[in-house]
Structure 1
Amino acid sequence: MDTVVTVEELKSTNEQIDELAQLLTQVVEDGASIGFLPPLSYSDARSYWEQALSTEVKLWVARVNDEILGSIQLHLCTKKNGNHRAEIAKLMTDPKARRKGIGRLLMQAAEERARMEGISLIVLDTREGDPSNLLYQSLGYLEAGRIPNYARSANGELHATVYYYKII
C-alpha cells in the first residue's frame, strides 16, 4: 500500500505545537543543521514554534496518517527592493520518514505559494555535504557560492554552507 502524504499550510502553530516541537527536537538530535544544536530541550523547541509565524513567514507541514513528519517555511522579504524574493528556511523531515518524497512535496508547496505571492527569486542555504544539497539541485536550484566555517555542529566542528537560488 502506498503512503499518502498531505501537505497543509498552517496559519497558527497552537494546535500542532507539541508535534512541531517533537519534530524539531528529533531532527536536531539527528544532526540537522537548522540553527539549533543538540540537545534541544522540548521547552526551547516549543518556544521556537510559539514565535515562528508572522505575516512574512509562511509554514507548511507534511502529514502521513495524520502525523506531522515534515515542515518548511517560506520567508517573504519585506524590504522594498526585495519584495520579489523569498527564502526557504527550516526544511525538516522526521528521520524515520526520509527519502519518501516529503521534502520534495514541501518544497513544491512553498514554491507554489511564492509564485502566488509574485515572488520571482527564491534563495536558501544548507550545510555542505548534507543530502539536502541533492534535493535542491534536483529541483533546479543553482549554487551561488559557499561560505567556509559557517555553521557549528554538536562536536564543535565548523562546516561550510552552500547558498542556492532559483528563478521561478
Structure 2
Amino acid sequence: MPHAEVTAQSHVDQGLRAQLLACWTDVANAGGAVGFVAPVTAADVEPLLAAVVDRVHEGRALIALLRVDGEVAGFAVLSLSLSPLRRHWATVLRVQVHPSRQRQGLGRVLMSGVHDIARARGMEFLHLTVRGGTGLEAFYQGFGYQEFGRMPGAIRVAPGDDRDELHLTCRL
C-alpha cells in the first residue's frame, strides 16, 4: 500500500511549481473541472498558477499538497479570507489528483487533508464550487458539504454547453 500524505505548503519553490504546473495541465487535459476545458498547454495554465503562487507567498492562500510515496500526486488550494470578519471561513479551489493516481481513493485523502489543515488554522467553515453535470457534488456531500446555491449557466465549456456552478459549504 503506498504512503499518502497531505501537507500545507506556504512556499512554492521552482521545483514544486513545475510539478504543480504539470499536474494541473494533465488533470485539465484528462477532463478535470479545474478551470479549463481541454486541450490546454502548460502556457495556458501558467498564468493561473502564477496567481496562486503569488497568493501563497503573500499569505493569502495555502497549497494542500498530496504526495504518494514522496511524489506529488495532486493538490488543492485553500484560499484564506483577509477580512477579520471572515477569518473562520476559507474557500477550497482547484482540487485535483493526477490522472495516473485517480481511482485509488486519493481524492478522499486529499480532502481529508484539506479539512485537517483548515481545522489546524482555526477554520470553522469551508466553501467550494463545482461544475454542474460532473456529479462531483456527490463526492463532496460525503464530506458533509451541502449545496446552498447555484448560478445557472455560469460555466461555458463549449458553444451550446453551459453548466451551472454549484456552491457548497461544510461546517468543519
For this structure pair, what is the TM-score category when the shorter chain's length is used for normalisation? 0.7 to 0.9
Q: Which residue of 1 aligns with 2:123?
A: 119
Instruction: Give the Cα separation in 1 of the matches to 2:100 and 2:110.
Output: 17
CA distance in 2, matches of 1:96, 1:129: 23
AA partner of residue 13 (structure 1) = V
Unaligned residue ranges in structure 2 (runs of 5+): none
What TM-score do the two structures reach when normalised by structure 1?
0.88
Question: Which position in structure 2 is the counterpart of 1:144?
Answer: 148
- Cα deviation, 1:18-77, whole Å, max 9, x if unaligned, reads 211111111111222222233322133334333312302010221223321210111111
Contact 1:149 1:158 in 2 (8 A): yes
CA separation in 2, counterparts of 1:116 and 1:6? 16
Q: Percent identity?
A: 25
**4+ aligned runs moved over 6 Å, structure 1:** none
Aligned residues: 167
Deviation at 1:112, TM superposition (A): 1.7
Q: What do residues 100-154 of structure 1 show as CA deviations (whole Å, max 9, x unaligned)?
A: 2222122122212222222211111101232432221111111112221111215
Matches of residues 84-163 of structure 1 in structure 2 within 5 Å? 84-154=88-158, 157-163=161-167
Give the match for residue 72 of structure 1: 76
Q: Runs of 5+ in structure 1 lacking a partner?
A: none
2:45 and 2:7 map into 1 onto residues whose CA distance is 21
Q: From the superposition, tell whether residues 68 and 43 of structure 1 become closer, same or farther in structure 2 (CA, over 3 Å).
A: same
Displacement of 1:5 in angstroms is 1.4
